[in-house]
Amino acid sequence: MKDLQDATVLIIDDEEDILFTLKILLKSHVGHVFTESNPFHLPRLIRQHEPDLILLDLNFRANATTGEEGLNWLAKIKTLSPNTEVIIITAHGDVDIAVKALKQGASDFIEKPWHNEKLLSTVRSTLELVLSRREINHLEKTRATLNNQLQALNGQMVGESKAIEQIFRTIGKVARTDANVLILGENGTGKEMVARAIHQASARKNEVFIKVDVGAIPETLIESEFFGHKKGAFTDAHEDRIGRFEAAQNGTLFLDEIGNLSLAAQSKFLTAIQQMVVTPIGTNQARPINFRLICATNESLTDMVQRRSFRQDLLYRINTIEIHVPPLRERIGDIPILAKYFVETFKEKYKTEHLVLSPEALKKLEMHSWPGNIRELRHAIERAIILSESDELRPEDFRFSDSSDLSESDENTGLNIEQMERKLILKALQLHKGNITKAAEDLGLTRAALYRRLDKFGLQ
């Protein structure tokens, strides 16, 4: 039997004794029960309470027996709130009118005087139907959200190298559990793909997958973003808001760039993850949470622990299982597979059905060091397809601004400042193996400034 404590029932009858009796009878079984003697208040009450079920009398005026008033209000309810179920309350002998109400959308009817057990059974079965329908709608919306998210990836985990096969095996083992997972690897290696693959292979696959880029959230907003807040809790809290922890309820929470959390935030995160409860800002009420936690970073958290910039107890909590995603330069054998996959993907997107990748172009792709990893490969192929003037992608369709072709590029571009800046950024990324923080330090930039330039030059 479903829990009816979240259900709302509205009773409309012109007899105060009936309203009082029904409320006393139902309030110990249903979470919220409201009563009203004037049916003209129905529109306001429906907007205010959003009832799951309305118990509706058929006659309201003195000496009225036709039931036409009730039928008119039934039609009004179905117009205002099609998903609200209606049970008709009718006097004994008015079964014909009740049957007419059923044909017009009522779910059932109750005769006066009623038997309490029969009335409770009717109400309970109707509300259980409503709650089941609500769960189905939630699942359908969740699946639609998941499909949209997956389609937005424009890619999937692809590869046949030993390193990738090992990752596939690990995913298969880990997905069957709820163990926390830490994914390590340079930027652009596909850490998010691994996280999504774990989610899709898990028992939580029909629930939400919430991705949060921790590094993109200002320190002052961390607590509100993750724990939520009540209206009025601080100056800009104009309405209640649930945090990311609650938003991921029953699904998977993926925290990218977990190494960017401050020590103060780490302490709060550790408490929430250990106890699996959150307390929104502005309230003392703790709320239970239930999700699968997956974290990712391009930092060495072990080194950060030694530098006392990351809590060791939090590291132990988040890396029950650790997965290392190798950079593309360490899995050169996967480049042909990935390249052909991206070519097929973008052929469909840009309507270039006959386009192929030449062996010479593929050889050039295999020789490149790919400091931006899979993300850079994907971008290079998309750009080549857009700019190509033939049905074959050739070596000259791919130009890389790393140190290996610096002199040639200088001669052809006249030392264009923007291109030089792009080359310098790529060189810093390659030197620091995709580590954004260290590359930004070398370049004399903030992380945010470097991210803006990566976006500007299409390197993200």
Task: Measure the CA–CA gap between 12 and 443, rounded to whole angstroms.
Answer: 71
Both tokens of residue 387?
Answer: 């700019």
Task: Measure the CA–CA gap between 187 and 256, rounded to whole angstroms.
Answer: 11
pLDDT of residue 215: 85
**Range of 26-35, 140-149, 227-236, 303-312 with top mean pLDDT:** 303-312
Least confident of 129-133, 202-206, 238-242: 238-242
β-bridge partners, 392: 356
pLDDT of residue 155: 43
pLDDT of residue 178: 94
pLDDT of residue 274: 93
Both tokens of residue 312?
Answer: 């060791």
**Range of 107-111, 237-241, 345-349, 376-380 with top mean pLDDT:** 376-380
pLDDT of residue 141: 60
Identify the burial level of 264 via C-beta atoms within 10 angstroms of its C-beta, where 0-12 means exposed, 13-18 middle and 19 or more buried. Answer: exposed
* 413: pLDDT strictly greater than 50: no
How far apart, in Å, are the Cα atoms of 284 and each of 223, 228, 241, 245, 281?
15, 12, 15, 17, 8
Task: Measure the CA–CA gap between 302 and 266, rounded to whole angstroms.
Answer: 15
Which residue type does 7 have? Answer: A
Close Cβ partners of 172 (under 8 Å, ≥ 6 residues apart): 201
Q: Is the bond preceding residue 113 a cis peptide, omega within 30 degrees?
A: yes
pLDDT of residue 411: 40
Which residue type does 418 have? Answer: E
Domains of the chain, earliest start first = 8-133 (3.40.50.2300), 159-326 (3.40.50.300), 330-398 (1.10.8.60), 401-460 (1.10.10.60)
pLDDT digits (tens, 9 = 90+) for 68-79: 888 889 999 999
User: Which of helix, strand or coil describes residue 299?
Assistant: coil
Q: Which residue has the tokens 């309820």?
A: 249
Mean pLDDT of 90-95: 70
pLDDT of residue 460: 56
pLDDT of residue 270: 95
Model confidence at 3, pLDDT cuts 50, 70, 90, reads low
Cα torsion angle, 308, 312, 317, 323, sign:
positive
* 144: pLDDT strictly greater than 80: no
* 373: pLDDT strictly greater than 80: yes
pLDDT of residue 145: 53
* Average pLDDT of the chain to the nearest whole number: 84
pLDDT digits (tens, 9 = 90+) for 425-457: 877 877 776 778 888 887 878 877 788 787 776
pTM (two decimals): 0.58
Residue with the bigger pLDDT between 142 and 330: it is: 330
pLDDT digits (tens, 9 = 90+) for 325-365: 999 988 888 999 999 999 998 988 888 888 999 999 999 99
pLDDT of residue 152: 47
Task: Measure the CA–CA gap between 266 and 407, rounded to whole angstroms.
Answer: 46
> What does R_g of the chain's alpha carbons equal in angstroms?
31
pLDDT of residue 408: 39
Task: Measure the CA–CA gap between 167 and 156, rounded to whole angstroms.
Answer: 14
Which residue type does 219 have? Answer: E
pLDDT of residue 326: 92
